[in-house]
């Protein structure tokens, strides 16, 4: 593990009050902070690209240059001295930033319709001046996986590398070669699809120039929509309704369920079902599975399996955990399977004429839908960003749409299904049902506050049938690793590969405001509060699916359709 | 091992004070006062300290450290042990340039022998480089020894070096001089080992005192033709040869050059400085580590400018843009490599403009 010791204690350093001259004015500042933080407090904006609030500043991009005591220094990692003279916007500083931007991007890039990458703002701030540098990079894009890279756009800022290593603990990519040939690549120059990449897509969210994106399935979905012989079904994850509005100027945390459904109908989808119902099914199966282990004895802790990136991480790095894993499929796979079996029969449609499109906050689900065990229940996965693009391509004015409801056949859901989107939500939903199944009465308080909030690892405990059940949840790869070290302290664990849970998934809108995840989580919990039914087993459609089709959770049919198995994978 | 014995008979503090008094400065190129570095390392709060002997000697035209490793390694090791005693280090590393791999076995024998005979509880490990010039830089050498990519950063190894602990990084010649300075009352702090090469018939390692007359050096080096210029490695800049001058650091500074480790590449009047700059620019494009934008992207563009000028397609405004780019790389790079990458351009334009003009007047060569 790379060690980076912050001199003088870093963020925890003792304050060092001093006076400096900042843009001509004498000011009192805390000299233990970097110039970037000091300027932020004083309302002075300095452009940055490689800077990341949660990571140690490597000062690679050299865009944040300011002049201190006659020398150009990077603001993100330089601390002032008593009496320093700092200038953040004189001609010398401006020209230095311009030259660096032009060196890294000799010709303006093509941009995506909906992705709000940082580079756009920085370009405008720094000012593009025509320079005479030639474009040198000529890399073949790394295609074929859920996550694809185009190194021709890369500015070598290193955020994807650091996030994959230090926040996700996956280490799938690193810098390769030296000098102007330096580029980011997986081990041995292989493709991302061929190495231990868990497809979590956090690299996509952190790339300031949009060099990394999801492998798009928009064309395939458009073809299916245009095909009159097909019945095209859209099913939406809990997290979409909490973030889709951001792509249409409605602000972070806007709950846009109704508009999301009507936009999908405008795009031509024949039916719109709710993956939150799939989540309710997952709870029925998983809570029952947990209680079976609890009563008959089994491997503890039981670990949730709705996150396909976590599954990949487990298969590559921790295959010894197989006995701990729940055998439940993820919500959208369960719902896709039920659509093509239970619903197809009821609606009188041939399964092969149904095309199921999942709208997901997740890039790993694209891989998940191709797994053999899933039997193509879900045909295509579109990320939230792709849906946004599709809506814009069809010139649908999202903000003005009326609210519509899901198709009722598979569209009724409970608050328990809704909270799946936030880290800790799966555990909360499972406990609401497992407790009631075991004790025969409702849990005293439906909201598990100890499982809410932005902490990486959360925990709590509850008494079931006289025994203590300790539970925990982790979000983000590094936190998963940390929790695994103490896993034997718990009986039930939820793992999410993306920090914050699915609301922070690799397919969600790209954001810069640091409170975005918090706001999205609040929308999720608002949805939970607003719904009339809050526990999965109360869902009338769920009850009907069991009484008419599956009989009971864990039945032979349920095992066949709604449960899965895992594969050991090598690291290379 | 008389120097080490003399050191061990003193207190560590006294050893550092003596090194300071003798005026020993680093021989790796930065000329930092050695005693001051040892003092700062010793003063830093930590439970462990390390020493790195920088034998990366990557600067083109420098081969004095190779000379020491081949002909006097035991004094160098003695110097390392003196440093270990003075600062309280138990582990030391010799970072040996990859290209010097053939010297490793013999060096290891000398190291083991000297350490055994000294009776000190210090381990000295030879770590081999892999051919990267940038790994001679003090923060990159730390990364490389720890097993990571040799990319420099803004840390200060004297206080936070290997594994976050205080680390003294000294050049081969510096450590050798430390032992000599300890022992000899009449040790001369102004002697320097010059590495001479270029258009001369007697290249080699020569020891001269600072202030030596240029004419003396040139007589010994024996150029075939009249000398026009001298370049201090690739990094230090190119300046005219003044047969009447004395070689001092002030004289070199006045020409906007840096003496570095006193490796002098002599260039005679038959050469065009633009061609020399082209070779140097190519060197920088290979050796840039790639971490920061100005050096990674700037060095290759400098090469492109020179290519254009040499092909006869250059224009006067290319010189202004080239100068701005060279200054920009110098001003905004992270480490010494980038900060020196523009020297040959800036000094070349300053002192040898006629050479550039000659190329501007040329007709374009056939593509």
User: Is B298 in contact with A103 (Cβ distance < 8 A)?
Assistant: yes
Q: Does residue B248 lie within any of the structural domains?
A: yes
The reply to whether B58 falls in a domain is yes
Examine the residue annotation and report whether A368 is marked as an active-site residue of this protein: yes
* A219 counts as catalytic: no
The reply to whether B135 and B153 lie within a common domain is: yes
How far apart CA A76 and CA B292 sit, in angstroms, is 14
Say what angle helices B273-287 and B343-351 make with each other, to 10 degrees.
170
Q: Domain A218-562, CATH 3.40.50.1780 — does that match?
A: yes
- A270: exposed, middle or buried (C-beta count within 10 Å: 0-12, 13-18, 19+)? middle
Residue of B nearest to A95 (CA): B328
Every domain range in chain A assigned CATH 3.10.20.740: 7-104
Q: What is the pLDDT along chain B (367 residues), one digit of tens a residue?
A: 899 999 999 999 999 999 999 999 999 999 999 999 999 999 999 999 999 999 999 999 999 999 999 999 999 999 999 999 999 999 999 999 999 999 999 999 999 999 999 999 999 999 999 999 999 999 999 999 999 999 999 999 999 999 999 999 999 999 999 999 999 999 999 999 999 999 999 999 999 999 999 999 999 999 999 999 999 999 999 999 999 999 999 999 999 999 999 999 999 999 999 999 999 999 999 999 999 999 999 999 999 999 999 999 999 999 999 999 999 999 999 999 999 999 999 999 999 999 999 999 987 765 5
Residues B202 and B179 in one domain: no
Residue of A389, A396, A401 lying closest to A258 (CA atoms): A401
Q: Which tokens go with B300?
A: 């290759």
Question: For residue B153, what are its two tokens?
Answer: 């950063």
Helix, strand, coil percent values for chain A (each to nearest 5):
40, 15, 45
**Average pLDDT for runs of 10 along chain A of length 572:** 58 85 95 94 94 91 96 95 95 94 81 68 76 80 85 93 96 94 92 93 94 94 96 97 95 95 97 97 96 92 97 96 96 97 96 96 96 94 96 94 96 96 96 95 94 95 94 97 96 96 96 92 95 96 96 95 94 74
CB contact under 8 A, A7 and B287: no
Residues listed for chain B: 367
Write phi, then psi, for A65 (nearest 5 degrees): -60, 140
Q: Which of B292, B297, B324 sits opposite A180 (nearest CB)?
A: B297
Q: Which of A153, A259, A340, A365 is catalytic?
A: A365
Q: Which residue in A68, A90, A92, A103 has the most chain B C-beta atoms within 10 A of its own C-beta, making it the best mutation to test that interface?
A: A103
Query: Which residue range(s) make up the domain with B293?
Result: 273-361
Contact B294 A62 (CB under 8 A): yes
Select the residue of A3, A134, A182 nearest B296 (Cβ to Cβ): A182
Question: What pLDDT does B367 receive?
Answer: 53
> Does B284 reside within a domain?
yes
For residue B229, give both structure tokens: 């210029």
In angstroms, the separation between the Cα of residue B160 and the nearest Cα of chain A is 7
Residues B175 and B76 in one domain: yes
Question: Is the same domain home to B219 and B295?
Answer: no
For the record, the structure tokens of A414 come out as: 């409970």
Flag if A178 and B291 touch (Cβ within 8 Å). Answer: no
Within the 28-67 window of chain A, which residues sit less than 8 Å (CB to CB) from chain B?
Answer: 58-63, 65
DSSP collapsed to 3 states, A388-416: HHHHHHCCCCHHHCCCCCCCHHHCCCCHH
A48, A36 Cβ separation under 8 angstroms = yes
Whether B19 and B146 share a structural domain: yes
Same domain for B236 and B316, yes or no, is no
* CB spacing of B300 vs A180 below 8 angstroms: yes
Phi-psi region of B256 (alpha: psi -120 to 50; beta: other; left: phi over 0): left
Residues B256 and B162 in one domain: no
A515 CB near a chain B CB, below 8 Å? no
Give the one of A59, A99, A175 whose C-beta lies nearest to B334's C-beta.
A59
- Enumerate residues 6+ apart whose C-beta is below 8 A from B249: B31, B210, B259
ipTM of the modeled complex: 0.92
On chain A, the residues whose CB falls within 8 A of the CB of B309 are none
Say yes or no for a CB contact (<8 Å) between B164 and A5: yes
Q: Verify whether residue A373 is a known catalytic residue.
A: yes
**CA–CA separation, A458 and B262 (whole Å):** 61
The set of residues, in sequence order, having a beta carbon less than 8 Å from that of B325 and lying 6+ positions away, is A99, B298, B301, B302, B305, B342
A103 touching B (Cβ < 8 Å): yes
Strand spans (E) along A249-404: 271-274, 302-303, 354-360, 380-383
Cβ pair B293:A61 closer than 8 A: yes
pLDDT score of A127:
74
Among residues B183, B209, B242, the one where a domain terminates is B183
CA A497 to CA A143: how far, in whole Å?
Answer: 22
Which residues of chain A lie closer than 8 angstroms to B154, CB-CB? Answer: 59, 77-78
Q: Where are the alpha helices (DSSP H) in A64-217?
A: 91-104, 118-126, 159-162, 202-206
Domain at B291, CATH number: 1.20.1440.230
CA distance B330 to chain A (A): 10
Active site residue A502: yes
Using a CB–CB cutoff of 8 Å, tell me whether A155 touches chain B.
Answer: yes
Q: B212 preceded by cis ω (within 30°)?
A: no
Of the three residues B238, B268, B298, the one that is the final residue of a domain is B268
Does the active-site annotation cover A107?
Answer: no
The answer on B299 and B218 residing in a single domain is no
The verdict on B111 and B89 lying in the same domain is yes
pLDDT at position A119: 84
Nearest residue of chain B to residue A181 (CA atoms): B290
Report the residue of chain A nearest B292, measured CA to CA: A60
DSSP-derived 3-state class of residue A67 = strand
> Which pLDDT belongs to residue A113?
46
| CA torsion through residues A175, B127, B94, B160, sign | positive
A&B contacts, CB < 8 Å: 96
At B254, which CATH number?
3.10.20.600
A214 catalytic? Reply is no
Q: Encoding tokens for residue B239?
A: 């300046």
Contact predicate A381/A309, CB 8 Å:
no
Q: Which of B131, B148, B331 is best to mutate for the A interface (most A CBs within 10 A)?
A: B331
> Would you call B244 exposed, middle or buried from its count of C-beta atoms within 10 A (0-12, 13-18, 19+)?
exposed
Is A50 catalytic? The answer is no
Q: What pLDDT score does A473 carry?
A: 97
> Under a CB-based contact definition with an 8 Å cutoff, are residues B278 and B303 in contact?
yes
- Distance (Å, whole) CA B251 – CA B245: 8
Q: Using CA atoms, how far apart are residues A399 and A201, in angstroms rounded to an integer?
A: 27
Q: Which CATH number fits domain A137-214: 3.40.50.1100, 3.30.2130.10, 3.40.50.1480, 3.30.70.20?
A: 3.30.70.20
Catalytic site residue from A39, A50, A197, A306 = A306
CB atoms under 10 Å from CB of A42, counted, come to: 13
Under 8 Å CB-to-CB from A239, ≥6 apart: which residues?
A361, A384, A421, A501, A502, A503, A505, A508, A520, A524
pLDDT of residue A502: 97
Instruction: Tell me the shortest Cα–Cα distance from A183 to chain B, in angstroms.
Output: 9
Q: Are strands A147-149 and A212-214 parallel, antiparallel or unpaired?
A: antiparallel
CB B244 within 8 A of CB B214: yes
User: Which H, E and C letters describe A446-502, residue by residue?
Assistant: CCCHHHCCCCCEEEEEEEECCEEEEEEEEECHHHHHHHHHCHHHCCEEEEECCCCCH
Residue B126 token pair: 């030879």
- Look up residue B85 and give its two tokens: 């005693």
**Chain center to CA of A25:** 43
Given a contact cutoff of 8 angstroms between Cβ atoms, the answer to whether A167 and A499 are in contact is yes
Q: B33 and B163: one domain?
A: yes
pTM for this model (two decimals) = 0.92
Residue at B366 is within a domain: no
Q: Report how far residue A341's alpha carbon sits from residue A546's, in angstroms, rounded to the nearest whole number.
A: 13
In chain A, which residues have their Cβ closer than 8 Å to the Cβ of B40? none
Closest CA to A245 of A500, A509, A513: A509
pLDDT, one tens digit per residue, over B232-281 is 999 999 999 999 999 999 999 999 999 999 999 999 999 999 999 999 99
Region(s) of chain A under CATH 3.40.50.1780: 218-562
Place of tokens 């190129």: B29
Check if A179 contacts B (Cβ < 8 Å): yes
Instruction: With CB atoms and an 8 Å threshold, state whether A178 touches B288.
Output: yes
Nearest to B234 by CA among B283, B162, B297: B283
| Strands B263-268 and B227-232, bridge-based pairing | antiparallel
Provide the 3-class DSSP secondary structure of residue A352.
helix
Token pair recorded at residue A390: 């599709």
Q: What is chain A's length?
A: 572
**Are B202 and B151 within one domain?**
no
CA B28 to chain centre: 4
Cβ–Cβ gap A104/B297 under 8 Å: yes
CB contact at 8 A, A458 and A436: no
| Chain B residues with CB within 8 Å of chain A CB | 132, 134, 146, 148-149, 153-156, 159-160, 163-164, 285-294, 296-301, 304, 321, 324-325, 328, 331-334
Q: How many domains does chain B have?
A: 3
How far is residue B133's CA from residue B141's CA, in Å, rounded to a whole number? 10
Boundary of a domain, candidates B233, B268, B303: B268
B-chain residue closest to A94, CA distance: B328
Residue written as token pair 């022998």: B113
> Distance from B10 to chain A by nearest Cα, in Å?
32
- Inspect the interface and report whether the beta carbons of B304 and A134 lie closer than 8 Å: yes
Close Cβ partners of B157 (under 8 Å, ≥ 6 residues apart): B52, B138, B139, B142, B166, B167, B169
- Return d(Cα A117, Cα A160) in angstroms, integer: 14
Question: Which residues of chain A form CATH 3.30.70.20?
Answer: 137-214
B106 and B245 both lie in a single domain: no
Domain A7-104 is in which class?
Answer: alpha beta
Catalytic residue among A289, A386, A494, A538: A289
Distance CA A135, CA A157 (A): 18
Task: Supply B310's token pair.
Answer: 């040499």
* Residue of B296, B309, B324 for testing the chain A interface, max A β-carbons within 10 Å: B296
């Amino acid at each position: 593990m790379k060690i980076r010791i912050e001199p003088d204690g870093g963020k925890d350093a003792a304050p060092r009050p001093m006076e400096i001259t900042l843009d001509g004015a004498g000011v009192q500042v805390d000299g233990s902070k970097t110039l970037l933080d000091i300027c932020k407090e004083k309302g002075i904006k300095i452009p940055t690209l490689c800077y990341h609030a949660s990571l140690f500043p490597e000062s690679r991009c050299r865009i944040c240059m300011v002049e201190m005591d006659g020398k150009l220094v990077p603001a993100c990692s330089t601390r002032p001295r008593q009496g320093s003279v700092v200038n953040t916007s004189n001609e010398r500083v401006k020209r230095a930033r311009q030259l660096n931007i032009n060196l890294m991007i000799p010709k303006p890039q093509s941009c995506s319709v909906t992705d709000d990458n940082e580079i756009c703002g920085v370009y405008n701030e720094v000012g593009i001046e025509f320079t005479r540098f030639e474009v040198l990079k000529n890399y073949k894009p790394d295609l074929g996986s859920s996550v694809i890279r185009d190194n021709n756009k890369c500015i070598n800022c290193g955020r994807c590398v650091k996030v994959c290593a230090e926040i996700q603990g996956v280490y799938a990519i690193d810098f390769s070669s030296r000098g102007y040939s330096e580029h980011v690549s997986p081990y041995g120059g292989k493709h991302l699809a061929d190495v231990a990449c868990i497809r979590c897509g956090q690299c996509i969210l952190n790339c300031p120039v949009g060099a990394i994106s999801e492998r798009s399935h928009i064309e395939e979905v458009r073809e299916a929509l245009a095909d009159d012989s097909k019945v095209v079904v859209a099913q939406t994850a809990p997290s979409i309704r909490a973030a889709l509005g951001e792509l249409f100027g409605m602000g972070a945390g806007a709950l846009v369920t109704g508009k999301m459904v009507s936009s999908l109908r405008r795009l031509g989808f024949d039916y719109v079902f709710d993956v939150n119902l799939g989540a309710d099914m997952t709870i029925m199966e998983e809570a029952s599975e947990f209680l079976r282990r609890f009563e008959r004895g089994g491997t503890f802790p039981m670990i949730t399996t709705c996150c396909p990136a976590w599954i990949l991480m487990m298969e590559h790095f921790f295959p010894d955990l197989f006995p701990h894993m729940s055998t439940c499929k993820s919500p959208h796979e369960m719902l896709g399977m039920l659509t093509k079996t239970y619903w197809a029969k009821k609606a009188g449609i041939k399964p092969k004429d149904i095309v199921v499109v999942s709208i997901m906050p997740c890039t790993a689900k694209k891989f998940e839908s191709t797994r053999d065990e899933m039997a193509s229940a879900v045909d295509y996965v579109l990320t939230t960003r792709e849906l946004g693009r599709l809506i814009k391509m069809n010139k649908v004015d999202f903000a003005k749409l009326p609210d519509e409801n899901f198709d009722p056949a598979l569209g009724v859901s409970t608050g328990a299904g809704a909270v799946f989107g936030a880290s800790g939500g799966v555990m909360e939903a499972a406990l609401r049902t497992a407790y009631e199944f075991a004790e025969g009465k409702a849990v005293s308080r439906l909201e598990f506050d100890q499982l809410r909030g932005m902490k990486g690892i959360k925990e709590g405990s509850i008494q079931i049938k006289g025994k203590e059940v300790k539970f925990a949840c982790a979000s983000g790869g590094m936190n998963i690793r940390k929790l695994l070290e103490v896993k034997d302290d718990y009986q039930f664990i939820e793992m999410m590969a993306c920090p914050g849970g699915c609301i922070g998934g690799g397919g969600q809108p790209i954001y810069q405001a640091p409170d975005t995840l918090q706001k999205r989580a609040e929308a999720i919990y608002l949805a939970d509060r607003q719904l009339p039914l809050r526990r999965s087993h109360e869902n009338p459609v769920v009850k009907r699916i069991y009484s008419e089709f599956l009989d009971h959770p864990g039945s032979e049919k349920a095992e066949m359709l709604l449960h899965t198995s895992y594969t050991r994978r090598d690291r290379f | 091992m008389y120097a080490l014995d003399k050191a061990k008979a003193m207190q560590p503090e006294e050893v550092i004070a003596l090194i300071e008094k003798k005026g020993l400065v680093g021989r790796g190129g930065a000329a930092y006062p050695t005693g001051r570095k040892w003092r700062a390392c010793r003063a830093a709060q930590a439970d462990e300290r390390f020493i790195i002997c920088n034998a990366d000697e990557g600067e083109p035209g420098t081969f004095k450290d190779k000379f020491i490793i081949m002909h006097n390694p035991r004094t160098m090791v003695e110097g390392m042990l003196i440093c270990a005693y003075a600062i309280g280090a138990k582990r030391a590393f010799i970072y040996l340039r990859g290209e010097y791999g053939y010297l490793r076995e013999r060096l290891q024998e000398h190291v083991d022998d000297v350490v055994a005979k000294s009776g000190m509880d210090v381990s000295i490990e030879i770590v081999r480089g892999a051919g990267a010039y940038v790994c001679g830089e003090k923060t990159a050498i730390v990364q490389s020894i720890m097993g990571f990519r040799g990319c420099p950063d803004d840390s200060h190894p004297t206080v936070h070096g290997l594994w976050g602990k205080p680390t003294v990084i000294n050049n081969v010649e510096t450590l050798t001089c430390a032992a000599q300075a300890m022992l000899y009352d009449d040790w001369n702090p102004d002697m320097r080992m010059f590495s001479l090469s270029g258009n001369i018939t007697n290249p080699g390692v020569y020891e001269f005192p600072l202030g030596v007359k240029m004419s003396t050096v040139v007589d010994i080096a024996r150029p075939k033709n009249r000398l026009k210029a001298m370049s201090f490695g690739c990094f230090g800049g190119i300046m005219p040869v003044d047969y009447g001058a004395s070689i001092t650091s002030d004289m070199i500074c006045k020409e906007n050059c840096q003496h570095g480790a006193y490796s002098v590449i002599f260039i005679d009047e038959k050469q065009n400085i633009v061609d020399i700059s082209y070779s140097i620019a190519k060197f920088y494009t290979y050796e840039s580590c790639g971490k920061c934008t100005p050096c990674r992207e700037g060095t290759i563009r400098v090469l492109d400018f020179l290519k254009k000028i040499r092909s006869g397609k250059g224009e006067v405004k290319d010189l202004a843009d080239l100068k701005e780019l060279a200054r920009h790389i110098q001003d905004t790079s992270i480490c010494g490599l980038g900060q020196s990458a523009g020297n040959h351009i800036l000094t070349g334009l300053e002192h040898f403009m006629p050479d550039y003009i000659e190329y501007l007047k040329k007709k374009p060569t056939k593509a």
